[in-house]
């Protein structure tokens, strides 16, 4: 577990979100502290991805508020690019550019979006490739890598923007079982360096090992949140127990 400092970094207060007539978030509140590792688990369709998309301003909310480092996400004057610089997001599909090398994929956004100095970005990219244990693939193309390796490149690419918060949405769900572990190890390394992490995962054992706090969602609501030990050993709500019975 990580050292959790006092200042909350991501705060959701009574967030409501609808798609047309379908209300998918029905009053979500959570506070993620700096360096905290939070896992969101729950049945498919319960709103986990939508929570992450709202935090990143990929989906506008209908009511409530979200702040990231004090920045109001639903402020009409929000600079969405500035927000997304602070909040890295990695998805199930890694979407690397197939005709660019690993190094080029990692360097692209800092060079093109942030207009940073090429030598600096390149040095950072090499260091991140070391961190995700793929230094030897620096000049490979995505098609030459396994799914797990591509996902680790996607994580390095996201980290190269120097975010304050990393969000991982079921990043191992599409991987072969034998490559899941290497990606989880990478996430653990990132978390252990003090990065604030919000992860949506079906890897219950991993969530239990790595998290400071586990949130359980069902039908657009947070049903309970707790330390991983209490959450898994002593779930309070019937819906949580039913879910854990199915997945454990």
Summarize as ranges the residues that interact with ligand ADP (CB under 6 A): 19, 22, 24, 42, 44-50
Q: Which of 46, 49, 151, 196 binds Mg ion (CB under 5 A)?
A: 49
Q: Look at residue 24 and give the partner it binds from Mg ion, ligand ADP, none, a contact being a CB closer than 5 to 8 Å depending on partner kind.
A: ligand ADP
CB of 231 to Mg ion, least distance (A): 19
CB of 49 to Mg ion, least distance (A): 3
Torsions phi, psi of 207, nearest 5? -60, -40
CB of 198 to ligand ADP, least distance (A): 13
| Residue with Cβ nearer ligand ADP (24 or 102) | 24
CB of 187 to ligand ADP, least distance (A): 18
What is the DSSP track for 140-159? Answer: --GGGS-HHHHHHHHHHHHH
Structure tokens at 57: 């301003």
Residue 152: count of CB within 10 angstroms of its CB: 29
User: What residues numbered 182-241 form the site for Mg ion, per CB under 5 A?
Assistant: none
35 touching Mg ion, by CB under 5 A? no
- Round to whole Å and give the CA distance between 217 and 204: 14
- Round to whole Å and give the CA distance between 59 and 65: 13
At which residue do the structure tokens 């309070």 appear? 236
Q: Look at residue 97 and give the partner it binds from ligand ADP, Mg ion, none, a contact being a CB closer than 5 to 8 Å depending on partner kind.
A: none
Report the interface residues with Mg ion, using CB under 5 A. 48-49
């Amino acid at each position: 577990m990580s050292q959790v400092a006092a200042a909350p970094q991501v705060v959701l207060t009574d967030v409501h979100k609808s798609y047309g007539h379908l209300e998918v978030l029905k009053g979500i509140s959570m506070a993620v502290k700096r360096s905290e590792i939070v896992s969101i688990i729950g049945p498919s369709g319960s709103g986990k991805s939508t929570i992450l998309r709202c935090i990143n301003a990929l989906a506008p909310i209908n009511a409530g508020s979200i702040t990231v480092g004090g920045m109001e996400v639903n402020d009409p004057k929000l600079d969405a690019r500035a927000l997304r610089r602070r909040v890295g997001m990695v998805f199930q599909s890694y979407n690397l550019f197939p005709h660019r090398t690993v190094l080029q994929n990692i360097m692209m956004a800092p060079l093109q979006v942030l207009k940073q100095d090429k030598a600096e970005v390149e040095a950072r990219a090499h260091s991140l490739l070391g961190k995700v244990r793929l230094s030897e693939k620096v000049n490979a193309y995505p098609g030459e890598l396994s799914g797990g390796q591509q996902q680790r490149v996607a994580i390095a690419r996201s980290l190269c923007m120097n975010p304050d918060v990393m969000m991982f949405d079921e990043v191992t769900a599409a991987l072969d079982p034998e490559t899941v572990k290497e990606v989880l190890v990478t996430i653990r390394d990132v978390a252990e360096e003090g990065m604030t992490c919000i992860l949506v995962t079906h890897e219950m054992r991993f969530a239990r090992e790595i998290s400071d706090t586990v949130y359980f969602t069902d039908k657009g609501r947070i049903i309970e949140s707790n330390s991983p030990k209490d959450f898994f050993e002593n779930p309070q709500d019937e819906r949580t127990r039913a879910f854990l019975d199915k997945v454990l």
